[in-house]
Amino acid sequence: MCRQFLCMLGIAFTVVGISETPLRVQTASANTSPPGAMSAAEAYQNIQVLKEIPADQLVPAMQFITYSLGVECSYCHVEGALEKDDKKPKQTARKMMQMMAAINRDNFDSKQAVTCNSCHRGAPHPVATPIIAEGGPRPAFESVLGEDTSLTDAPPAEQIIAKYVEAIGGAAALQRISTRQEKGTINISGRNLPIEILSRIGGKQLTVIHLPNGDSITAYDGASGWTSAPNRPVREIPSVEVASAKPEVDLQLPLHIKQLFNEVKTAGTEKIGDRESYVVAGINSGEIAAKFYFDKESGYLLRILRYTKSPLGRNSTQIDYADFRTLNGLKVPFRKTIARPNSRLTVQIEDAEFNVPVDEKKFARPAVAPTPTRPSS
């Protein structure tokens, strides 16, 4: 069961970065240690398969399972006692992890080729038999040749990015900004809540959602990130999530896209709604880490699709930008929609201002409170 407040928080966290959930992750050691320092087996109580993975990649892996099966944490877990093996699907999931590792080892040079989603595709029970669709047969896939005509009529990535920089006001105007303050509302499952976003160059961003009983905060300090919420301890944002969120917290993204990746290159054209867009891919270690969609006509960035690595597969987050308005000579999107496989949230900015004085300390993690008495489960 998911109480209204906890559910909402779970969603709120998902908005702004961290893969959190309505269930409490109550492992004290995992919360207080620096990310990546411990293995999952050391940090948690009952890990039998994912023993070697860094502790801060366990929750991203759990998020991946949840998206792939189209379920909630409670499908496998007893709330308040995540280490327990009482539920059958949890036991099955362990076997599935082993099966998946064996398939990839034996057939795909241990690459992450087959994942939970390859079979499950958003359902607990994979469909083994090809279905007959209500609307008649789907058109067959074209031959591999002739598939990528979209690539040939797209300009090189450098050109698309240069047009973007010009379209939103030019490099000089971008270089003059150091902070931005935004105020507006966030729509979470039909409810509007006040939101404030404070950004600073150097990858610093503080997002505060005002909940009825206190603030939910997500912060990036340039190197790491943390979240806090009413009645919950401050938590680290997994380092894989921090890495993947870099483009969207960068106040001068247009000037930095190329630096954020080993390589950027044009990946064709695609339609977003009724807008034609050029797609530019950011590649790290030979893998697409993010895709940027630029309006063919206006040059504006309409969408970022980014991938967060996890030990079982990659989680995707899509941010759509709209309602572009001029502020200090720069075009700024006043609406963004953040979508994940199981959620969609819209932030509507009403008021924005550049170069407001910002206290650096705001982005820093609050001091850890002296060992709180944990509720017994």
Positions in the binding site for ligand HEC (CB under 6 A): 21, 23, 25, 27, 44-50, 58-59, 62-63, 65-66, 69, 71, 73, 75-77, 82-83, 89-90, 92-94, 96-97, 100, 114, 116, 118-120, 124-126, 312
83 or 166: whose CB is closer to ligand HEC? 83
Q: Which residues pair with 306 in a beta bridge?
A: 290, 317
Residue 222, classified by CB atoms within 10 Å of its CB into exposed (0-12), middle (13-18) or buried (19+), is: middle
Smallest distance, Å, CB 107 to ligand HEC? 11
87 or 344: whose CB is closer to ligand HEC? 87
Nearest-angstrom CA–CA distance, 196 and 371 = 30
103 or 260: whose CB is closer to ligand HEC? 103
The amino acid that residue 89 corresponds to is P
101 or 327: whose CB is closer to ligand HEC? 101
Q: What are the structure tokens assigned to 111, written together?
A: 């690459």
Nearest-angstrom CA–CA distance, 162 and 369 = 47
163 or 314: whose CB is closer to ligand HEC? 314
CB 40 within 8 Å of CB 259: no
Q: What are the structure tokens assigned to 288, written together?
A: 């697409």
Smallest distance, Å, CB 29 to ligand HEC? 10
Nearest-angstrom CA–CA distance, 198 and 332 = 14
111 or 361: whose CB is closer to ligand HEC? 111
94 or 256: whose CB is closer to ligand HEC? 94
Select from 6, 120, 127 the least CA-distant residue to 66: 120
Smallest distance, Å, CB 89 to ligand HEC? 4
Smallest distance, Å, CB 37 to ligand HEC? 17
**What is the torsion angle, in degrees rounded to the nearest 10, for the CA atoms of residue 173, residue 174, residue 177 and residue 178?**
-160
> Is residue 252 classed as helix, strand or coil in its secondary structure?
coil
Nearest-angstrom CA–CA distance, 10 and 66 = 13
What stretches of 191-246 adopt beta strand conformation (E)? 191-200, 204-211, 214-221, 225-229, 232-236
Smallest distance, Å, CB 8 to ligand HEC? 16
Smallest distance, Å, CB 110 to ligand HEC? 15
Smallest distance, Å, CB 119 to ligand HEC? 3
Select from 189, 186, 238, 185 the least CA-distant residue to 2: 189
125 or 361: whose CB is closer to ligand HEC? 125
Q: What are the structure tokens assigned to 31, written together?
A: 């919360």
Smallest distance, Å, CB 90 to ligand HEC? 5
Nearest-angstrom CA–CA distance, 158 and 222 = 26
Instruction: Provide the CB-side half-sphere exposure for 39 (13 A, CA).
Output: 10
The amino acid that residue 72 corresponds to is E
63 or 266: whose CB is closer to ligand HEC? 63
Smallest distance, Å, CB 160 to ligand HEC? 36
Q: Which residues pair with 211 in a beta bridge?
A: 214
CB 272 within 8 Å of CB 322: no
